[in-house]
Structure 1
Amino acid sequence: MGLDFTVLPAFFSLLLVGAGWTIAITVAAAILSFFGGIFLAVIALYGPAVLRYPFRLFAWLFMGTPLLLQLFLIYFGLIQIGIDLPAFVAGVIGLGLHFAVYNSDIIQAGILAVDRGQYEGARTLGLSRVQTIARIVVPQAVRSVIPPIGNNMIALLKDSALVSVIGVTELTLTAQLAISRTFRPFEFYLAAAACYYLINLVLEAGLRHIERRIQMAR
C-alpha cells in the first residue's frame, strides 16, 4: 500500500508515445476545427438557403449532443453503412467537427463585427463578393477572435482524452495500459495529468505568441 513513483520510469517510453499521439490528434483536429469553423461561418452568413438550413441541423446535432456520443457514432456507427474509419481518423473527425461548430459561432460574431465600410470599400475597388469575403472580411474577423478560438483549442486538447474510448493510444489510454500492469492508478493518472499540463503550457505559449504577432501587425 502507499504511493510508489519508482514504477514510472519503466513505463516512461509508453507514456511518451501516448503524449505524442495526443499532440498529433490535437493538432490535426485543431486544424480541421479552425478551417471548418471558417467554412461553416461563411455558409451560415452568406450561403444560399439550400445550404444554410442543413448547416443549422448539423450545428444543432453537434452542439446538442455529447462529444463522446459523436465519437461512437463516427467510429462504430459509420461502419454499418460501409465506412470503416481508423480510430485515429475517426477521433480527428469527431473532435474537429465538434469544435468547428463552436468556432463557427465565434467567427460569425467576428464577421458581423467587421465594419460595413470595409465590405463596401472592397467592392468599390473592383473585388467580387467572394474575393471581398475571402480577402477582406474573413481575415479581419479571424484576427479579432483568436483569443476565444484559442480557448477552444485548449478545451480540444483536454477533450482529446475521450478518443481513448475508441482505441486511440493517446495519453489517457497509455496510462490505463500501465495501470493494468502495475495496479498503480494514482501514480500513472498523476503522471498523465502532468503531461497534459505541460502540453497545455506549450499550447498556451504558442497562442500568446500568435496573439502578440497579430496585435503588432494591426
Structure 2
Amino acid sequence: MDSLPQLLLATAKITLPLSAIAFVLAILIGIISQVFRSNKFRPLAWLANVYVWLFRGTPLLVQLFLVFYGLPRVGITLDPWTSAIIALSLNTGAYVAETFRSAVASIPRGQFEAARTLNFTKMQTLRHVIIPQAVRIALPPLGNDLIDLIKGTSLVSTISLVDLFQSGKQVAAANFEPLAMYLEVAAIYLVIFTVLSWLQSLLEKRSNRYMRSVHA
C-alpha cells in the first residue's frame, strides 16, 4: 500500500484531467458531427460519416500512434499530452456522434408533426421537444462512453505519459510485485467506475423526474 499515494497522484494529475478534457471535446465533436450528418449539404454529411466510420472502425491505440508518431513525418510534432487529448477526443467523439444519432432517431416522428401543428419553429422544436427527449435517451450510452474513455486512457502510457497504469508499471518494476500493483491499479479503476455509475444513475433519475413533470 506504500505505492497508493503515487498511484493516486498519477490518477489526479493525468488520468482524470485527461479524461475530463477529452470528454468535453468529444461531446462538442459529437454534436458538430451529428449536425453535419443531418445536413442536406451532402459533402458535409459525407465528411462526418467518414469521420465516424474511420474512428469507430480503427483501434484507439493505432490512432494514438498515428497522432504521436505518425504526424511528425509530415512536419507536425505534438507533445504526449496534446497527442493524447486529440486521439481520445476524436475517438470518443465518433461514438458520441453515433449516440446522438440513435437518440434522435428513436424519437417518434409524431413528435415532429405535433410540434409543426403547434406552429413551432425549428429551433423551438429542438429546444422544447427534441433535445430534452434525446438527452434523456442518450444519458446511459454517454455514461458508457465516458467510462470507456477513462479505461482507454491506460493506453497513453505507450506515448510516454505517466498515467495511473504507467505509474503502476513503474512501481511493479521497482518492487517486483506486479500482482499486488496491478490489483491496486484495477481497484482504483473500479472505484472510478463505481462513482461514475452512481452519478449516471442519479442523472437518469433526475432526467426521468423532469420529463414526468413536463408531461404532467
Same fold by TM-score greater than 0.5: yes
Cα distance between partner residues in 1 of 2:94 and 2:88:
10
- Structure 1 residue 131: deviation in Å? 5.8
- Which structure has more relative contact order (CA 8 Å, sep 6+)? It is 1
Structure 1: how far apart are the matches of 2:92 and 2:136? 18
Aligned-residue sequence identity (percent) comes to 33
Structure 2: which amino acid aligns with 1:112? A
Q: Does 1:106 align with 2:113?
A: no
**Aligned mates of 1:174, 1:211 — CA distance in 2:** 34
Give the aligned partner of residue 18 of structure 1. 10
Q: CA deviation at 1:125?
A: 6.2
Q: In the alignment, which residue of structure 2 is the partner of 1:96?
A: 89
Is the 1:37–1:107 Cα contact (8 Å) retained in structure 2? yes
Cα gap change, 1:166 to 1:130, in 2 (>3 Å): farther
Question: Aligned-residue CA RMSD in angstroms?
Answer: 2.1
Deviation larger for 12-21 or 172-181: 12-21
From 162, 168, 172, the equivalent of 2:165 is 172
Are the equivalent residues in 1 in contact too, given 2:11–2:163 (CA < 8 A)? yes
Output the CA distance in 2 between the equivalents of 1:167 and 1:124. 58
Question: Could you give the per-residue CA deviations for residues 120-172 of structure 1, whole angstroms, max 9, x where no partner exists?
Answer: 45556666545644664234212212112212222222111111111121100
Structure 2 unmatched runs, 5+? 212-216
Tell me what 2:202 maps to: 209
Paired position in structure 2 for 1:27 = 20
- The verdict on how the C-alpha distance between 1:121 and 1:166 changes in structure 2, with shifts beyond 3 A counting, is same
Aligned length: 210
1:40-71 CA-to-partner distances (Å, cap 9, x unmatched) read 12211235101111122212211221110001
- Normalised by the length of structure 1, the TM-score is 0.86
Asked whether the equivalents of residues 34 and 48 of structure 2 are also in contact (C-alpha less than 8 Å), the reply is no
The verdict on how the C-alpha distance between 1:214 and 1:80 changes in structure 2, with shifts beyond 3 A counting, is: same
Normalising by structure 2, report the TM-score: 0.86
Distance 1:47 1:213 in 2: 35
Q: Structure 1 residue aligned with 2:175, among 174, 179, 182?
A: 182
